[in-house]
Each structure stands twice: as structure tokens, then as C-alpha cells.
Amino acid sequence: PAFIRNFRQGRLGPPPQTPLIKKKEESGKEKEKKKDSTTVVATRRDDATDKPSNGGKPNGANTSTSRQGREQPVGVVAMPSPPPVVVQPAATELATGSRGGGDSAADDDEAQTTPRASAAMPDGPVPSFSLSSPEEPSNANPPAATPSSSQPKPPAPAPAPTFGLMAPPPRPSAPSLRPPPSPAPSRLPVPNRNPLAPSSSSSSSQSSSLALPPTHSAKPKKPSRQVVLTPGHSPLDWARLSSNPGANLRGLPPNAPPYIRVTPSMLKRQTGRRGTDAWMVLGGRVYNVSPYEKFHPGGVPELLRGAGKDATQLFGEVHPWVNFEGMLSACLIGIYVAEEEAAADNSD
Ligand code: HEM
């Protein structure tokens, strides 16, 4: 700048003492520097003015807005050429961006792809409709379906391809109709499996695998013969009562020995009928089951089936899992003995 100032001021004054060659070179350099200086000044002013509005970016879009007023004289020299070139693509980008509402790069791609899709879509529908229309009437109502589908399709290109794609579905409907015939072959393996278990002896392995469950399930679960116990006669109530030492469940006089010898003649009179207690022999021991009658889950009649006799076998046939010794410990009278043994003991 100082040289330029001196040069501008030196026009009127004497030229500097320099050889002609240097003057020529300097003159050429000065011309270039003039251009550079103008450009520099212009760019400096543009930068100074654009930075606040343009954010330091030399885009033409913002220069068009910032270039209102004082910048024009300087900017007209250097800026005009780049801005219009840059501004035009920017304007197109903004226009496409405003249309698509997305990024400029994406808009460029969309602008290219969207016309291709629109052009391809209208071509497809026409042949697809002609194919779909004949199939639909065969499956559905011919008068209503064909005209309604054919009319809206030609005007609207976009929905048409979708319907054209929908035409194939009728074909899947045909395979859906195919399964009905297929069940026939599928029925063949099914009967093969079924006959294996009941009758066919060809494959013993499969029949044995299937035979095991029936054997377990074949065990006939006897219907429960339990009765509804009256209130206060639940198993828990019996446990509470039998554990009470003060309760006399034996039914014997207080002075009776802890264990007595019971003979068959004695036992057969204790049937639980006619005001007598029901005595029952279980495992060689004699129990008075009368206190337990209303607690018996199988009911009183069932319990009395073994009264006045040795019911060990019967008891075992009905419920061998029942722990009679523990449940009837408070009802134990004595031991079951033969008449001779009792007579011998009494004689002794
Ligand atoms: C010998 C005479 C007896 C007969 C005929 C008899 C019969 C029965 C019957 C039919 C049932 C129902 C089984 C079922 O659930 O279907 C039953 C259940 C029962 N009986 Fe007896 N009973 C007798 C003696 C006894 C005695 C002396 C006791 C007490 C120790 C007793 C305790 C039970 C018990 C606890 C059940 C329930 C079993 C269970 O739910 O698994 N029974 N009895």
C-alpha cells in the first residue's frame, strides 16, 4: 500500500531513480499490484462487511443480501463474477430444499430418484390391471369388482402399481386352495401312526413308545368314595382329639388294664350296633373304632364293615397306605388272642 500511495502521488512528481527495465517490470508489477490491491481491498471490505452477516463464508447467497449500498462500488469489480455463479446453484438448492424440506445433498438425490419412480410407476399399472381384473371376477363378484377396480386405476398412477402388485395375491389364494387337496396325502401318515398303536405289529418300537402312556393311563383311577365329613370331624380334629390324654377313646372302664386279651367270642359282639362299640382287629391288635366313626373319610358304613372281626386284610385292600397304628393309638384296647390262650391266661 505504501508503494501504491507513493506511486499514485508520484505521478505528478519525478519518477524514482530506477532503470528502465525495472520501471517496465515495476510498471507491470504495479499493474498487477493494482489489480491485487483492488481485489485485496475489495475482499477486505467484503470480509469486513460479510463476516458479521455471512459468518466468514464467501457464499453468494449472503453476499446478495449484504451487498446493499456502500459495498457496491468496490465489490462490483471483483465479486460480481463469483457471486452470480455461486448464487444460482444456491438458489436452486434452496428451491429444492424448500420443496423437499431436507438437506441439499439429499434433495439432489431425491430430485434424481423421484422423477424416476414417478416415470416407472405409471407404466406398470396398465398391464397389471388387465391381468388382475380377469382373476378377481372369478374369485369375487364379477360385476362390482371389475369396473370399480379398472376405472380408478387408469387416472391414478400411484395406487395403480400397488393394485398391480396386489394382483399376485390371488395366485397365493390358489396355493391356499391347494392345501385342501394336500390334506389327502397328509392323512396318509396320520392313519399310519394311529394304526401303529392299536393294531399294526409291523413297527414294534413306535407301538411300544406309544403303549407306555396308555399303560400308565390305563390304570383305572377308582372314583373317590370319600364322604363329606360333618363339621368338627376333619382329620385335624381327629388328630387334636386323639392326642388329648384326658379323652377316654378306649371305651373301657377306668379300672381296666392298659391292654386286655380279646378273644374271637368277645370281638364278634363288638360290632358297633345295638349300643356296643365297634372293635376291629388290625395287625393282631384290637382297636375301638367307634370314636373314629364320624372322622372316617370313607364313611361310617364302610368303617363298620370291619367291625367285630379281623379286618386286616380288608383294610389293606382299601387303603394300605393309611397308618392305622398312629391314628388309632388312643383307641388301642389290647391284643387279639385265641380262646384257648385267653382261657389259659384266665386259669393262670
Ligand atoms: C376295615 C374297615 C374299613 C373300610 C372298609 C374302610 C373303607 C374306606 C374307604 C372306602 C375309604 C374311601 C377311599 C377313597 O378315597 O376312595 C376310606 C378312606 C379312609 N379310611 Fe378307611 N376303611 C376302613 C377302616 C379304616 C380305619 C380303621 C381307619 C383309621 C385308621 C381308616 C382310615 C381311612 C382314611 C384316613 C381314609 C382316607 C384315605 C385317603 O384319603 O387316602 N379306615 N376308607
pLDDT at 187 over 80: no
Q: Are 319 and 241 part of one and the same domain?
A: yes
Q: Is 238 in the pocket of ligand 1 (CB under 6 A)?
A: no
Q: Is 305 in the pocket of ligand 1 (CB under 6 A)?
A: yes
Give domain status of residue 27, yes or no: yes
- 261 CA to centre of ligand 1 in angstroms: 26
Q: Are 54 and 129 part of one and the same domain?
A: no
- Read off the pLDDT band of 91 (50, 70, 90): very low
Q: Are 258 and 340 part of one and the same domain?
A: yes
- Mean pLDDT value of segment 242-271: 94
pLDDT at 143 over 60: no
Ligand 1: which residue has its CA nearest to atom 32?
296
pLDDT at 266 over 60: yes
Give domain status of residue 201, yes or no: no
Give domain status of residue 110, yes or no: no
What pLDDT score was predicted for residue 188?
Answer: 52
Highest mean pLDDT among 53-62, 183-192, 303-312: 303-312
Give domain status of residue 114, yes or no: no
Q: Are 329 and 255 part of one and the same domain?
A: yes
Q: Are 75 and 137 part of one and the same domain?
A: no
- 325 CA to centre of ligand 1 in angstroms: 13
Give domain status of residue 239, yes or no: yes
Give domain status of residue 272, yes or no: yes
Q: Are 341 and 249 part of one and the same domain?
A: yes
Q: Are 251 and 339 part of one and the same domain?
A: yes
- Mean pLDDT value of segment 151-162: 47
Q: Which atom of ligand 1 is nearest to the CA of 321?
A: 41
What pLDDT score was predicted for residue 168?
Answer: 58
Instruction: Give 224: exposed, middle or buried? Use CB within 10 Å, 0-12, 13-18, 19+.
Output: exposed
Q: Is 269 in the pocket of ligand 1 (CB under 6 A)?
A: no
For residue 228, give the 3-state DSSP assignment. coil
The domain in which residue 131 lies consists of 124-169
- Read off the pLDDT band of 3 (50, 70, 90): confident
What pLDDT score was predicted for residue 341?
Answer: 84
Give domain status of residue 42, yes or no: yes
Distance between CA atoms of residues 10 and 107, nearest Å? 57
Q: Are 132 and 69 part of one and the same domain?
A: no
Report the number of distinct structural domains present in the chain. Answer: 3
Residue of 32 and 252 predicted with greater confidence: 252
Close Cβ partners of 144 (under 8 Å, ≥ 6 residues apart): none
Q: Are 132 and 74 part of one and the same domain?
A: no
Q: Is 324 in the pocket of ligand 1 (CB under 6 A)?
A: yes
Q: Is 211 in the pocket of ligand 1 (CB under 6 A)?
A: no
Give domain status of residue 69, yes or no: yes
- Mean pLDDT value of segment 57-65: 40
- Phi, psi torsion values for 262, nearest 5 degrees: -110, 125
Domain at 331, CATH number: 3.10.120.10
Query: Above pLDDT 70, what percent of the chain?
Result: 39
For residue 291, give the 3-state DSSP assignment. helix
What pLDDT score was predicted for residue 306?
Answer: 97
Q: Which atom of ligand 1 is nearest to the CA of 315?
A: 1
- 277 CA to centre of ligand 1 in angstroms: 18
Q: Which atom of ligand 1 is nearest to the CA of 287?
A: 27
* Lowest mean pLDDT across 215-229, 304-318, 328-342: 215-229
